[in-house]
Structure 1
Amino acid sequence: MSTTAQPSVMVIGNCQADVYRDLLRSADGVSVRDVRPVYEMTARDIPDLHADLARTDVLIIQPVRDDYRDLPLGHRQLAARLPASATVVLVPVLRYAGLHPYQVLIRPPHDRSLVPPIAPYHDLRAIVAAATGDQDVLDAAPDPAQARAAARESVEALRTREQAHGTLTASDLLEGTPRWHTINHPDRHTLHEVFRRVLDSLPAGLLDDPPHIGDREPLGATRAPVDPAVERALGLPESGPRDWLVDGISFSGDQVTEAHLAWYATTPGVVEEGLRRHADRIDLLGLR
């Protein structure tokens, strides 16, 4: 450990990692370093980041490939900048499409910051409709086999990533069909359990009084509708929601779809990238 008054912790990752960072920041006994998300960093950030890492006792980080965006920001590259005595906790990026089989994220290579209006998630039915002109596909609903296959695929994909990167295990949490808000915004129960596993990986005695999530939903500002057909297929209570909720404002599925279709018509490259990147999911769900 460093000789500073408190052990220093750095957390690097996406919105899920932000939850872990905020929880640690609320705890007594550790100093949590602020750091920009990796996808926002530029070459100018590297010297200060390296200097901070050299004074960091615990690095909690999600997997990042070497030379991400042509910068030395891979998790292995950053871990190499830590003191020899430092602890590294590698946490998986959580994705779960069980409740939202058609929902995907698309980052067009020419501009990865592009997101559609209202809700920053894409529906594969709208992607296929935009590509083919077939409006009937917008009314598609998964049959029980398709819904169950999409849920299984999420668990298997996360397990594969965990094994490939050597992260903490979280895939077992998906087998219980958790009620997530979107494909990458877990419910508080999932976040609580992953954070507990993070705490278990920290050096003994680092935190005498670990923080708790409590009853709030840290990632619940955006909530996507759940199709009753999916709930029935997965043996879940039909409790919804049935509309989008974005920062306290409700939108119907049709409102979001219409806005996205209009956006695709004026935003080149998004539909093509969606078809390419999510071809297997499109086939699994019988959309072509």
Structure 2
Amino acid sequence: MTTTDVPSVMVIGNCQADVYRDLLRAAPGVAVTDVRPVYEMTAEDLPDLHADLARTDVLIVQPVRDDYRGLPLGHRQLAAQLPASATVVLVPVLRYAGLHPYQVLIRPPQDRSLVPPIAPYHDLRAIVAAAAGDRDVLQAAPDPAQAHASARESVEALRTREQAHGTVIASDLLEGIPRWHTINHPDRRTLAEVFDRILAELPAGMIEPAPVIGDREPLGATRAPVDPAVEQALGLPATGPRDWLVGGARVPTREVVEAHLDWYAATPGVVEEGLRRHAARIELLGLR
């Protein structure tokens, strides 16, 4: 243990990691070090970050490539700054498209901060419609084979990432078709199970009793619609939602689609990047 009175824990990652960090803050007998998300860090953050890492007993981190954004922020580079006795827990970035087969994230290379209005997720049907000038594709719905293939792809992709980086295992949790809010906002049951698996990697007795999520949905502020055709194809109950929920407010799906199409017309490069990056999924879903 470092020189602090209680074990020091640092959590680095995206919004999913924020949930784990918030839970650890509620745990007795540990000190959680607050740091900026890795995608917001600059060279000016490095001295303080390295100093904090040198006093950290447990680093919980999502895989980050070496020299991310030109800075030594890869997970291996961060771990090298820890005391020799420290514990490192690698946690996979969770993504699941089973309920939302057409939903993707796109980071245009000219400006990776660009996001569409209202809801920061893209629909491949709108991307293809914008590229082809054909709005008929907006009515596409997956057949059972496509829906199951999309769900399997998410499981296999996560399993590949787990094996590549040696992370905590979470891919088995996707096999039961969990009710996520968006492709990267898991439901509380998934987050709770992953958090329990993180705790199992920590030194014995370090966190007791373990904090729990309870009935709240920590990543439920934005919820994407679920197509009835997807529920039917996957044999799920028809529970929706059918429109977007953004900050607790209902937004009709058609309104989001139209806003995104207008945004694509005014924002060069996004459609092209979507077609390039997600060509395999577009083909899998029969959109081209």
Query: Normalising TM by the smaller chain, what interval?
Result: over 0.9
- Partners of 2:129 and 2:101 in 1: how far apart? 16
Per the alignment, residue 74 of structure 2 pairs with 74
In the alignment, is the contact (CA less than 8 A) between 2:59 and 2:79 conserved in 1?
Answer: yes
- 1:173 partner SS: helix
State the Cα distance separating 1:26 from its structure 2 match.
1.0
State the Cα distance separating 1:110 from its structure 2 match.
1.2
Per the alignment, residue 25 of structure 1 pairs with 25
1:55-106, CA deviations, whole angstroms, 9 ceiling, x for partnerless residues?
A: 0000000000000001000000000000000000000000000000000000
Residues 63-102 of structure 1: pairs in structure 2 closer than 5 A: 63-102=63-102
- 1:184 partner SS: coil
- Partners of 1:235 and 1:249 in 2: how far apart? 28
Per the alignment, residue 147 of structure 1 pairs with 147
1:200-243, CA deviations, whole angstroms, 9 ceiling, x for partnerless residues?
A: 01111111211000000000000000011111111110111101
Per the alignment, residue 263 of structure 2 pairs with 263
Q: Report the RMSD for the aligned CA atoms in angstroms.
A: 0.5
Residues 1-288 of structure 1: pairs in structure 2 closer than 5 A: 1-288=1-288
- Partners of 2:3 and 2:49 in 1: how far apart? 19
For structure 2, the 5+ residue unaligned runs are: none
In the alignment, is the contact (CA less than 8 A) between 2:27 and 2:208 conserved in 1?
Answer: no
- Partners of 1:192 and 1:279 in 2: how far apart? 33
- 2:153 partner SS: helix
Paired positions, count: 288
- Partners of 1:248 and 1:89 in 2: how far apart? 34
TM score, norm. by length of structure 2: 0.99
**Paired amino acid for 1:271:** V
- 2:287 partner SS: coil
- Partners of 2:199 and 2:212 in 1: how far apart? 11
**Paired amino acid for 2:129:** A
- 1:231 partner SS: helix
- 1:9 partner SS: strand
- Partners of 1:287 and 1:112 in 2: how far apart? 25
For structure 1, the 5+ residue unaligned runs are: none
**Paired amino acid for 2:11:** V
1:226-270, CA deviations, whole angstroms, 9 ceiling, x for partnerless residues?
A: 011111111110111101000011111110000000001111111
Percent of aligned positions with the same letter in both sequences?
83
- Partners of 1:242 and 1:177 in 2: how far apart? 18
Structure 1 stretches (4+) deviating beyond 4 angstroms? none
State the Cα distance separating 1:3 from its structure 2 match.
2.4
